[in-house]
A = this chain, B = another copy of it.
């Protein structure tokens, strides 16, 4: 059975909820990056053993949090030996603003995955964008390269939109299906 890891940083708990939804859909293991930008014990081993790695981070000041970037910089060690080559990669991000430069974060995830010699899979979901569209529709926030979710600046994690979490879960299922195609 293929192994999927979700490595993510969450500042206030919103991104954690998205990570849990992706992991539920994918049957993945969570690898949380802590407030100092470090992985848990066995975190690197989990990533090294995975067939697919999903990146997750809030969008802070136009890109991934510094904690995620610290993890990314530390991944120069597996990069140097191309230890993650040919793994599948994917990503998701959350921020308070509808757009708010979330695509910049996804572009960074993609760039990091390419440095690692990986393959990338996006949402494969058409956006909900007609006049009848509702906030809780699948992919209402409307992203292709990875999942984007949105939580108002004064909202708690338990107030996240059900549609965004459902989108994240479906995305996890898609990542799992793509991983099976690649890893057998």
Residues of chain A whose beta carbon lies under 8 Å from any beta carbon of chain B: 37, 60-67, 69-70, 72-73, 75-76, 79, 82, 85-86, 88, 96-104, 107-108, 110-115, 117-127, 129-131, 133, 140-145, 148, 152-155, 159, 178, 181-182
Q: Take A104-B107, A107-B104 as given contacts and tell me if A148 and B62 are in contact as well, using a CB distance cutoff of 8 Å.
A: no
- Whether A101 and B115, one on each chain, are in contact in the complex, defined by CB atoms closer than 8 angstroms, is yes
- Closest CB of chain B to A65's CB: distance in Å? 6
- Whether B127 and A122, one on each chain, are in contact in the complex, defined by CB atoms closer than 8 angstroms, is no
A73 to B181, CA, bound (A): 29
20 A-B residue contacts at CB 8 Å?
A60-B73, A61-B72, A63-B108, A63-B112, A66-B66, A66-B67, A66-B70, A82-B124, A96-B127, A97-B142, A99-B102, A101-B111, A101-B144, A104-B107, A107-B107, A111-B144, A114-B122, A129-B152, A131-B155, A181-B181
A118 to B124, CA, bound (A): 7
- Whether B62 and A111, one on each chain, are in contact in the complex, defined by CB atoms closer than 8 angstroms, is yes
A133 to B154, CA, bound (A): 11
A131 to B73, CA, bound (A): 23
A146's nearest neighbour on chain B, judged by CB, is B114
8 tightest A-B contacts by CB? A97-B142, A62-B111, A66-B70, A103-B103, A114-B122, A117-B124, A66-B69, A114-B144
- Identify which of B70, B99, B118, B152 contacts A99 (C-beta below 8 A): B99
- Closest CB of chain B to A136's CB: distance in Å? 13
A120's nearest neighbour on chain B, judged by CB, is B120
Q: Which residues of B contact A124 (CB under 8 A)?
A: 82, 85-86, 117
- Identify which of B98, B111, B159 contacts A104 (C-beta below 8 A): B111
A98 to B115, CA, bound (A): 14
- Whether A115 and B69, one on each chain, are in contact in the complex, defined by CB atoms closer than 8 angstroms, is no
